[in-house]
Amino acid sequence: MKHFIFTFFIVFMHIFRLSGQTYIPGDVYFGDHGYIEYHAGNMPVVISEPHGGYLTPSTIPDRTCSGSVTQGDAYTEELAYELNDAIHALTGCYPHIIMNKLDRKKLDANDDYTTGACGNPLAEVAWQEFHAFIDSSEAYIVKTFTKGFYIDLHGQSHTKERIELGYLLYTNELQMSDSILNTIKYINYSSIRNLAKHNIDSLTHAQLLRGPYSFGSLLYDKGYPAVPSLTDPYPQTGDPYFTGGYNVAHHSSYQGGTIDGVQAECNYNIRANLSVRLKFVDSLAIVIRDYLELHYFQNYSQQPCINASIGEIEQDQFLVFPNPAYRKVFVEVPAAYSSLTLINSAGNIVKEFEGASQGKQEINISGFPDGIYLFLMDFPDGRTINKKLLIMDDNIQYY
């Protein structure tokens, strides 16, 4: 019990600090022990790299819990560094880059909290840091740009040398006709759900997946085969193909909101050789810029970077108390809000509240399991602010 309380307290306090910190675009920040690395950005792009770390500290045992996958992605850490440099050289702006420096044997940052950390307290803190950096980056993007794009960067060594783009749709679903993919059912399954409903040229979901201006087709035009795309519209039955994982499901518009996402599985030969990799990241940087201009922001390449520091949202006026709490918690808000959502540590929505006027409100949390939660508050003007909440049993003794 002492270990349980200590773990929750340390995780809560550390993530609370990260969520309220101010980050300067272009600077690099680290979580505890240097296991998670964050490059702060000022453009509407978030890139996470969960499986390319090399650190193997003895203080974190190798993951052996049920469902563990421990094979890492070679050269994706290098790919992330070089892509950051390529985007900055091309645009003068900084993407948000979040990297897991731990070997996948120690932490899987693209799996749920339980399997990803396998119960180790240090790994649990690193898992929370990784996702907190993504959350704070996306909150900044929503506040500053109202919408944006998220890429979860991976590597694969399949026989067909191409980039596999995962939009959370299975092979048999991608093989369906455009008319079926354009139905609301499959749009709501997709990690580009918001983009399918709101894009500059009113392109359909199927066109965004595999049309001439899809992400895959833009890569193909640069000389990098990709699926889905106009040339390679879907994986053939039996082809190995990654549809997208935990990160894309939890940090894209599949969960709602205005940040779309894709899991980009880059084939081995464009990662392993330095000169080939540098040529690739230069092309990928152009594709990302063009994708934003085609679908999100007209004349994007002519717009200056937004240099406001992350953390300038007026968090101090959003109060949650007591904290830790049990049975009930009071929320005091600075202005009328449109929605309030409570999310657990696994990223699942546990309760949604209707919008209300400013002032103090009492919320019943009795019956909620002990753990770390996040309040997300959306405002009519598009801003989003968040606060961490620790829920604990009132019978627990503190040590």
309, pLDDT greater than 90: no
Q: Is residue 112 part of a domain?
A: yes
Q: Are 294 and 344 members of one domain? A: no
Higher pLDDT among residues 357 and 350, named by residue: 350
| Distance in angstroms (rounded) separating the CA atoms of residues 216 and 166 | 10
Residue 368 has a CB neighbour count (10 Å cut-off) of 18
Amino acid 389: pLDDT: 81
Amino acid 314: pLDDT: 46
| Tokens read off for 373 | 């939660």
Q: What is the CATH number for 114?
A: 3.40.630.40
Amino acid 364: pLDDT: 84
Q: Are 207 and 265 members of one domain? A: yes
| Interval 102-115 mean pLDDT | 96
Q: What is the pLDDT of residues 282-299, one digit of tens each?
A: 999 999 999 999 999 988
Q: Is residue 350 part of a domain?
A: yes
Q: Which domain does 359 fall in, by range? A: 315-391
Q: Are 369 and 308 members of one domain? A: no
What is the residue whose two structure tokens read 């050289």?
A: 89
Q: Is residue 353 part of a domain?
A: yes
Amino acid 291: pLDDT: 97
Q: What is the CATH number for 352?
A: 2.60.40.3080
Q: Is residue 360 part of a domain?
A: yes
| Distance in angstroms (rounded) separating the CA atoms of residues 113 and 22 | 26
Cβ pair 128, 205 in contact under 8 A: no
Query: Of 285, 312, 339, which residue is a domain's last?
Result: 312
Q: What is the pLDDT of residues 188-245, one digit of tens each?
A: 999 999 999 999 999 999 999 999 999 999 999 999 999 999 999 999 999 999 999 9
Query: Of 295, 312, 329, which residue is a domain's last?
Result: 312
Query: Of 291, 312, 333, which residue is a domain's last?
Result: 312
pLDDT band at 357 (very low <50, low <70, confident <90, very high): low
C-alpha pair distances (Å), 310 with each of 68, 140, 218: 34, 6, 30
Q: Is residue 40 part of a domain?
A: yes
User: For the whole model, what pTM was predicted?
Assistant: 0.77
Q: Is residue 15 part of a domain?
A: no
Q: Is residue 8 part of a domain?
A: no
What domain count does the chain have?
A: 2
Q: Are 347 and 259 members of one domain? A: no
